[in-house]
Amino acid sequence: MKKMSKLSAVYLIVVFFILYAPIFYLIFYSFNSGGTMYQFEGFTFDWYKELFKDSRLLIIVLNTIIIALLSAAISTIIGVAGALAIAYSRKRRVKNTLLSLNNVLIVSPDVIIGASFLILFTMIGIKLGLISVLLSHIAFCVPIVVIMVLPKIEEMSPTMMFAALDLGASRWDVLSKVVLPYITPGIFAGFFMALTYSLDDFAVTFFVTGNGFTTLSVEIYSLARRGVSLNINALSTILFIFTMILVIGYYYIAKRNRPNGMGDRR
Amino acid sequence: MRNTSRNFYLIPYVLWIILFVVTPLFLVLYYSFFDIEGHFTLDNYKKFFTTVYLGMTLSSFWYAFLITLFTLIIAYPTAYLLTKTKHKQLWLLLIILPSWINLLLKAYAFLGIFGTYRAANSFLKMIGIGSKQLLFTDFSFIFVSVYIFLPFMILPIFNALNELNPSLVDAAHDLGGSSWTTFRRVIFPLTLDGVKSGCQVVFIPSLSLFMLTRLIAGNRVITLGTAIEQHFLVTQDWGMGSTIAVFLIIAMVIIMIVTGKKVVSKVL
């Protein structure tokens, strides 16, 4: 391989700089004792202290985490069932239709999802709040889980199932003792992905959340609309660290997810 | 698996499809035929074809086009150079990492950064040079959008380049192709699928970025998404909002057909 030219290295460094500068800029000013994001006056932890004293915000964080965990768990169950349904549908047309319908919510802009869910919940009379947010998070996480789990099912050799059936396993046994253990890494990856989608979502939640209930993204939006306040900077530092932990966790799972030889379709 | 067990998997999944995929789309279509008082009407469609809404749609597409174009121009060389680095997977991870940070925090960071310019501007004004307003302009909106979408564009192009067989490039060189010819005739056509996927993940969401237009562009830039949000949550005119949504869905379908059906998830 040729060594990279200086120009290329500079280009990459500039791109990396631009990608990371805003994030570190936020973190840097979270320690500013002055109240602005352009004049660093002195070092302080005050914004963090204020953050941890703000019980309303802590409840919002808790809400966000509960919504994320619940929606990730439930959407993983539905998504795995969906992936199995798609993988084992024998007619090609059924399979393609299911896949297309599955992908609708992945490619739809968040605004469309949010607006249409708002109509849906109002029509069937679900009060806007925790339940409507939870339901919509489950709804848009399901296709992501399907996308993450499906390749794992399809790479599995059907001979493993036939072997199990030949050895007298019931269908339930085949599912619980052969298929599910094999696709477990895919399921974990799907769960993680659903978790991050739910934690990250703003637009859909913004539409279906009522007056009483807020998640972190919505709260950041309404704070940011009021202008700069260094509480948000402190919050972003904490979220940055948290995101790092999540990413490392995800990559740890993804690494184990690589084909491990046994039972792979060749 | 045989029929009985298959039906068992299908039940929750098909219920989900019916309730959260098919029904909402039909409801949007249905609502687009009603005015604010709940009377059946075609007025929303008539209104959409007036200059106000058509102009907005055009400008929304224009912004989305610019955002996609600039993202592509920056992303392609980045992806290409990334494949040449030693620990390319690690570098790729580092490029993707910012995309996992909450979008609103990134937008907020730019509020601060452009605010710095505002401080500089007031200084310039004081000494009599006059100011250039950077926040709340088209430029800042496009800049922040490109910043946010960059990783999503780099990823599919990187994957396409990574799968490209290097012997093809060598062959082109051996046959006397210049670097530019090799790129134009071999590398780019073979990575076109990656470029298309990248454009798809950037173009569709950038039609609907209402939070950026609100936070960064200070309501100066109105995209289709902003208009939908406005109609649904501010003026409560769901009919008009749904009509715009119908056109956004149509636009989305057209883009999907142009860029190919392959779906890329937003993160990895």
- Give the contacts of B102 (CB within 8 A, at least 6 positions apart): A199, A200, A202, A216, A217, A220, A236, A239, A243
Which of helix, strand or coil describes residue A27? helix
Query: Is A48 a member of any domain?
Result: no
Flag if B78 and A15 touch (Cβ within 8 Å): yes
The domain that holds B229 is classified in CATH as 1.10.3720.10
Contact between B9 and A36 using a beta-carbon 8 Å cutoff? no
Of B104, B109, B225, the CB nearest to A217: B104
Q: Does residue A191 fall inside a structural domain?
A: yes
pLDDT at A262: 44
Judged by CB atoms closer than 8 Å, whether chains meet at A22 and B115 is answered as: no
Contact A111 B210 (CB under 8 A): yes
In a domain, A161, yes or no: yes
Residue A76: which domain range? 57-257
Instruction: Note down the domain range covering B215.
Output: 47-259
Question: How far off is chain B from A176, nearest CA to CA, in Å?
Answer: 13
**A5 within a domain of the structure (yes/no):** no
Give the Cβ contact number of residue B87 at 10 Å: 9
Distance from CA of B210 to the nearest CA of A (A): 8
From A229, A112, A255, A166, select the one nearest B210 (Cα to Cα). Answer: A112
Residue B134 forms part of a structural domain? yes
Within-domain flag for B194: yes
Mean pLDDT by 10 residues, chain B (268 residues): 58 90 92 83 85 88 93 93 85 85 86 72 61 65 91 91 86 84 86 88 87 78 86 88 91 82 50
Q: Which residue has the tokens 């604010």?
A: B36
Domain assignment of residue A17, yes or no: no
Any A CB within 8 A of B74 CB: yes
Give a yes or no: residue B6 inside a domain.
no
What DSSP string describes B185-224? IIIHHHTHHHHHHHHHHHHHHHTS-HHHHHHTSTTSS--H
Contact: A239, B105; criterion CB under 8 Å: yes
For residue A29, give both structure tokens. Answer: 């000013």
Please list, in sequence order, all residues whose beta carbon lies within 8 angstroms of the beta carbon of residue B99, skipping any fewer than 6 positions away. Answer: B148, B151, B152, B266, B267
Q: Which residue is closest to B1 within chain A, CA to CA?
A: A88
d(CA A179, CA A158): 10
Distance from CA of B110 to the nearest CA of A (A): 7
- Rama region for B178: left / alpha / beta (φ>0; ψ in -120 to 50; rest): beta
Please check whether residue A60 is in contact with residue A68, taking contact to mean a CB–CB distance below 8 angstroms: no
What pLDDT is attached to residue B112?
81
What's the total number of domains in chain B? 1
Choosing among A112, A192, A229, which should be mutated to test the B contact, i.e. which has the most B CBs within 10 A?
A112
Are the C-beta atoms of residues A144 and A106 closer than 8 Å to each other? Answer: yes
Distance from CA of B189 to the nearest CA of A (A): 22
CB contact under 8 A, A228 and B112: yes
Q: Which of B16, B74, B119 sits opposite A139 (nearest CB)?
A: B16
pLDDT at site A265: 43
At B31-50, the pLDDT tens digits run 888 887 778 888 888 888 88
Q: Write out the two tokens for B40.
A: 């059946």
- Is B159 domain-assigned? yes
A149 located within any domain: yes
> DSSP letters of A222-249?
HHHHT---HHHHHHHHHHHHHHHHHHHH
What's the pLDDT score for residue B267?
A: 43
What ipTM was estimated for this complex? Answer: 0.83
Note whether residue A249 is domain-resident. Answer: yes
Q: Assess if residue B35 is contained within a domain.
A: no
Q: What is the pLDDT along chain A (266 residues), one digit of tens a residue?
A: 455 688 888 999 999 999 998 888 888 888 888 777 777 777 888 888 888 888 888 899 899 999 999 999 999 999 999 998 888 887 888 888 888 888 888 888 889 999 999 999 998 988 888 999 999 999 999 999 998 898 888 888 888 888 888 888 888 888 888 888 888 888 988 998 898 889 888 999 999 988 888 898 898 888 888 877 888 888 888 888 888 887 787 777 766 665 544 444 43
Helix A55-87 vs helix A92-107: crossing angle, to nearest 10: 160
Our measurement of the distance from residue B94's CA atom to the centroid of its chain's CA atoms, rounded to an integer in Å, reads: 21
pLDDT of the residue at A120: 93
Taking alpha carbons only, the member of A193, A198, A196, A172 closest to residue A84 is A172
Note whether B173 contacts A: Cβ–Cβ < 8 A: no
Which token pair is B57?
A: 């749609």
Residues of B in contact with A15 (CB under 8 A): 74, 78, 95, 150
Q: How many CB atoms lie within 10 A of CB A40?
A: 13
From A45's Cα to the closest Cα of chain B, the distance in A is 19
* A110: enclosing H helix or E strand: helix A110-124
Looking at residue A67, its pLDDT comes to 93
Asked whether residue B38 is domain-assigned, the answer is: no
Contact (CB<8Å) B105/A236: yes
CA quadruple A235, B204, A108, B144: dihedral, nearest 10: 10
State the total domains in chain A.
Answer: 1
Residue B82 covered by a domain: yes
Please report, for the domain that includes residue A81, its CATH number.
1.10.3720.10
Query: Residues 3-32, chain B: which have Cβ within 8 Å of A?
Result: 4-6, 9-14, 16-17, 19-25, 27-28, 31
Which chain A residues are within 8 Å of B156, Cβ to Cβ? none
